[in-house]
Structure 1
Amino acid sequence: MGHCNRCFFTLCPLLLLLLLPSSSGTDLLFDFPAKIRDLNLFPSEDVNIVRHPNCHANKLVEKPLRFPNLLPTQSGVSLDNLAHSAGYYPISHSNAARMFYFFFESRNSKKDPVVIWLTGGPGCSSELAVFYENGPFKIADNMSLVWNDYGWDKVSNLLYVDQPTGTGFSYSTDKRDIRHDEEGVSNDLYDFLQAFFAEHPEYAENDFFITGESYAGHYIPAFAARVHRGNKAKEGIHINLKGFAIGNGLTDPAIQYKAYTDYALDMGIIQKTDYDRINKLMVPACELAIKLCGTDGTIACTASYFVCNTIFNSILSHTDNINYYDIRKKCEGSLCYDFSNMEKFLSIKSVRDALGVGDIAFVSCSSTVYQAMLVDWMRNLEVGIPGLLEDGINMLVYAGEYDLICNWLGNSKWVHAMEWSGQKEFVSSPEVPFTVDDSEAGLLKTYGPLSFLKVHDAGHMVPMDQPKAALEMLKRWTQGTLSESGDDAEKLVAEM
């Protein structure tokens, strides 16, 4: 939640492990490289600001993607029948930014929706989701690829982008392209989409959905609003935006940070005496800091990040090496998650040749991008959502029930508190079981364009922890049958 990002690893990437307890909030900032090592991530560069210009700097660089070492699948899926591509698109309103992306054509139909996934951090690469969550492939220990039976490309044409600039394989020759707020981030993403659909007009009329995790709870509403605004102004290619989904995200910090103690007490992480002390000493300071952020600019907003994170650090100080992305688990040593196979795989020459990245370094998570976005952290991104709902753009907020850092309770609180024309009806709507294979996989509340789903037996990274339920969630939501049971949804789609 608020911290959901606080560690710059939005897991889901991926807020991952930045939120280790520290003696002071500022320790987090200066220990960032150590936190990356805790994840077994060892980027050779902190940010991709390169000194040499690319020979293709002013044009698209895209190539068909054929990963080496891909093992055959039992389902008979063949790459020969699928359009996979990767490459760089120039960002037209930047100084020299080039965004790297993956595109995986749907295994079902080219007419399926186009779904874009945004990894959080801020500053973590999309490859974290590609290989560990909802992409078409998983990485085996021998560096071969195996098909993911629950990849989201089974029901959608799937896009992943390394953003903001400097993240993953995305790069610039100009440091002015490092972004500090959601206006810059969303404008770059909008330019990317315009370039993508100009190159691939065959997908431009498909339904379009924005998805992501953790700090993407900031990115996604801003990006959705930017796309909707561009459509209304007829700026470029019309993008058929139908909805946006936020998984275990940070969206309204003022509400979500206050919910930390409630969640921690409910789950037995802290005692009532701890709860009372934190609420008395730290929560009021956080509330004041966020208010000052709303009236001032960079200094107050950056300061509020450190003030409010004392709440989370205080909670962690009462735990025994808990995995704050999944409180059922312990961190093994300093490693709560191990993503080292990704970096090994992406360092293989044949893989880099297949991607066409040349000598650009892979930056799994960038502390430069993370620090640049601190001024953005405590801003409320809920404010633009009601207008999207009123115009019929659907929103799904989902959250694994065992995540502490961007917990379901804080997300539920801001969704219920959001003022829009259907607020009263949404609040009074009943929770119903979300069933997968006749088993309850979560609890769902929905009214009109708004849905909230608490996912059972999952932590911060729902597609990793509950891949089948996550795929079913995406499928039903994009088809407009999320509130139906599995059998009912299949029957309804068949009749349509």
Structure 2
Amino acid sequence: MGRLVEAIIASILLSLCFTITKSAPKSALITNLPGFNGTFPSKHYAGYVAIDKHRNKNLWYYFVESERNASVDPVVLWLNGGPGCSSMDGFVYEHGPFNFEPKKKNSHLLHLNPYSWSKVSNIIYLDSPVGVGFSYSNDNADYTTDDTKTASDTHTFLLEWFKMFPEFQSNPFFISGESYAGIYVPTLAAEVVKGHKNVTKPVINFKGYLVGNGVTDEVFDGNALVPFTHGMGLISDELYEETKLVCNGTYYTGGQSGVSKECAGKLKTVSDTVNLLNLYNILEPCYHGTSLSALDIEFLPKSLLTLGKTEKPMAVRKRMFGRAWPLGAVVRPGIVPSWSQLLAGFGVPCIDDTVATKWLNDPAVRKAVHAKEEKAIGNWELCSSNLEYRHDTGSMIEYHRNLTLSGFRALIFSGDHDMCVPYTGSEAWTKAMGYKVVDEWRPWMSNNQVAGFTQGYANNLTFLTIKGAGHTVPEYKPRESLDFYSRFLAGEKI
């Protein structure tokens, strides 16, 4: 009897594997990648999904099948932030199947990444919204967008994608992302849940989501920096106590009445003290100059918060994302690592995106990944200079509350050396949800070492820090990231 059962199971698995080979669109299969000399550890696909055929509005994706068991492993959507930054950032610099190394004599650019998230999951890297990366529309009006439209368009993409890859419809599905994806992820999750209630087909087997160093709430995020700088030993006890006193412990007011002149002065002193540091990881050197910090928002003119609709967003190349801003503000995409950059347009410091930019603009690479030619849609930028983006959804706290109370699992993780979206803000808002603590603050382990700290709450909410990591956690701590990612997807204790 046992052998009969084993034979039946083997037959089912073989059938599933055959289905994967048969069902996935052959035209999307990637057969080679310039810079890589070897055999892919799993199948890769890329191409466009039309989310509005009439307008020729298309989102581009890169899909990596799991290296373990694609037929049953979770499908995970990855979204980088910005707003307006390509998710190929995650592919190239964080947790993709390859490590990109500067080309040396007689060597190749791409090498297999032992800590790729495709070791344990199928993963979709999506360029969203339209106008980002290789995604495009024939109607330039589509490059003016907002949180609500982005969530709706990405949900449409998912429905169409699962029709193209029907063999994955029964797999557990998770949404993940970092930085401004702290907005993208919960708003998209809410759309997916709404689709469930409306019995939208195909039904997406949504189980939960992960957010790394994510923008969440204007006030919580805005108040996070001063405690972070003090806790990290970046400002003196005296300056911290003086700032705390004159600001009454509140360093950002959400654009209501502002702060006092005395408070603004102390905040500027804090800003001046830390502004030579790498915003995205205070342990790392800063390569491209410096930037003022987020604290400057309190004493800069509010009139600088918006761009006029006729003003083209700045064509600057940058890598990171980050801080929330007042509801309704029109944003220069990709320029949100600090309020001062948002308002004054300084560009993003300390970051080098040369490898991704050169590789993805190589005509042979674009052809290999089924992306439009440069003459058709322009050059690939890590963060788009084509968008006008409006933040229109406000705080994400109620989104998280609704999702977790509905039974969906949530992991909020933070690199503890990120000064862009400090862990202090994420720790504060997860605690403010008011859920019962079911797993008290403790270290979590990776490779027999303390990798960070975690606290678990009722209703499937977990907060996690990663020791020594910056804004883009898997970039700095790849082994540890694969560990917590694997455990979360499997429903195991981290």
> Structure 1-normalised TM-score?
0.74
Structure 1 residue 273: Cα displacement: 5.0
**Which residue of structure 1 aligns with residue 306 of structure 2?**
none
Does structure 1 residue 88 correspond to structure 2 residue 44?
A: no
1:462 is matched with 473
Number of equivalences:
396
Query: Partners in 2 of 1:102 and 1:482 — Cα distance?
Result: 30
What residue ranges of structure 1 are gaps of 5+ in the alignment? 1-59, 73-77, 293-302, 484-496
Counterpart residue number, 1:446: 456
Match of 1:492 in 2: none
Counterpart CA distance in 2 for 1:112 and 1:442 is 26
Change (3 A) 1:320 1:181: closer
- Flag the 1:415–1:179 CA change in 2: closer, same or farther, 3 A: farther
Pair 367,316 (structure 1): closer, same or farther in 2 beyond 3 Å: farther
Task: Give the alignment of 1:198-209 within 5 angstroms.
Answer: 198-209=163-174
**For the Cα contact (< 8 Å) 1:473–1:482, is it kept in 2?**
no
Deviation at 1:475, TM superposition (A): 0.5
Relative distance call for 1:285 and 1:149 in structure 2 (3 A) is: closer
Q: What is the CA distance between 1:61 and its match in structure 2?
A: 10
Residues 88, 98 of structure 1: 8 Å contact kept: yes
- Of the three residues 339, 346, 353, the one matched with 2:360 is 346
Aligned match of 1:434 in 444, 469, 472? 444
Q: 1:362 aligns with which of 380, 383, 387?
A: 380
- Specify the SS of the correspondent of 1:430: strand
- Cα distance in 2 for partners of 1:280, 1:91 equals 52
Say which is worse superposed, 435-444 or 171-180, in terms of deviation. Answer: 171-180
> CA offsets, 1:230-284, max 9 Å, x none?
0121022111111101001111121121121111111122234544348746986
Match of 2:414, SS state, is strand
Residue in structure 1 matching 2:86, options 117, 121, 125: 125
Deviates most, 150-159 or 386-395: 386-395
Quick check: 1:70 aligned with 2:36?
yes
Larger of the two Rg values belongs to structure: 2
Q: Which residue among 59, 63, 66 is the counterpart of 1:103?
A: 63
Percent identical residues: 32
* Gapped regions of structure 2 (runs ≥ 5): 1-24, 290-348
Work out the CA distance in 1 between the residues paired with 2:224 and 2:410: 22
C-alpha displacement at 1:467, in angstroms? 0.3
Q: Kindly tell me: are residues 354 and 121 of structure 1, through their superposed partners in 2, closer, same or farther at Cα, counting changes over 3 Å?
A: same
Once the two structures are overlaid, the 10-residue window that deviates more, 328-337 or 465-474, is: 328-337
Counterpart check, 1:384 vs 2:350: no
In the TM superposition, what whole-angstrom CA distance separates every residue of 1:388-409 from its partner, at most 9, and x where no partner exists? Answer: 1111100000001111111111
User: How far off is 1:94 after superposition?
Assistant: 8.4
What residue identity is the alignment partner of 1:456? K
Change (3 A) 1:279 1:415: farther
The AA in structure 2 aligned to 1:472 is D
Q: How does 1:415-434 map to 2 (within 5 A)?
A: 415-419=430-434, 423=435, 425-426=436-437, 429-434=439-444
2:263 is the counterpart of 1:248: no
Aligned AA (1:109): N
Q: Equivalent residue for 2:284?
A: 329
CA distance in 2, matches of 1:311, 1:220: 35
2:116 aligned with 1:151: yes
The answer on whether the counterparts of 1:67 and 1:351 sit within 8 Å (CA) in structure 2 is yes
Task: Give per-residue Cα distances to partners, 1:357-384, cap 9 Å, x unaligned.
Answer: 2323212212443x523x448x201111
Which secondary structure state, in structure 1, belongs to the residue aligned with residue 154 of structure 2?
helix
Conserved in 1, the CA contact under 8 Å of 2:52 and 2:58? Answer: no
CA contact (8 A) 2:86 2:127 kept: yes
Does the residue aligned with 1:469 lie in a helix, a strand or coil? Answer: helix
- Paired with 1:243 and 1:94, the residues of 2 have a C-alpha distance of 33
Which of 239, 259, 264 does residue 229 from structure 2 map onto? 264
Higher helix proportion (structure 1 or 2): 1
Counterpart selection for 2:410 from 374, 380, 395:
395
Q: Which fold has the larger relative contact order, with Cα–Cα distance below 8 Å and residues 6 or more apart in sequence?
A: 1
Deviation larger for 203-212 or 137-146: 137-146
1:287 maps onto 2:253 in alignment? yes
Task: Answer yes or no: is the 8 Å Cα contact 1:260–1:311 preserved in 2.
Answer: no
What displacement does 1:183 show?
Answer: 1.2
Question: CA RMSD for the aligned pairs?
Answer: 2.7
**In the alignment, is the contact (CA less than 8 A) between 2:80 and 2:180 conserved in 1?**
yes
Aligned equivalent of 2:97? 136
**Partners of 1:95 and 1:177 within 8 A in 2:** no
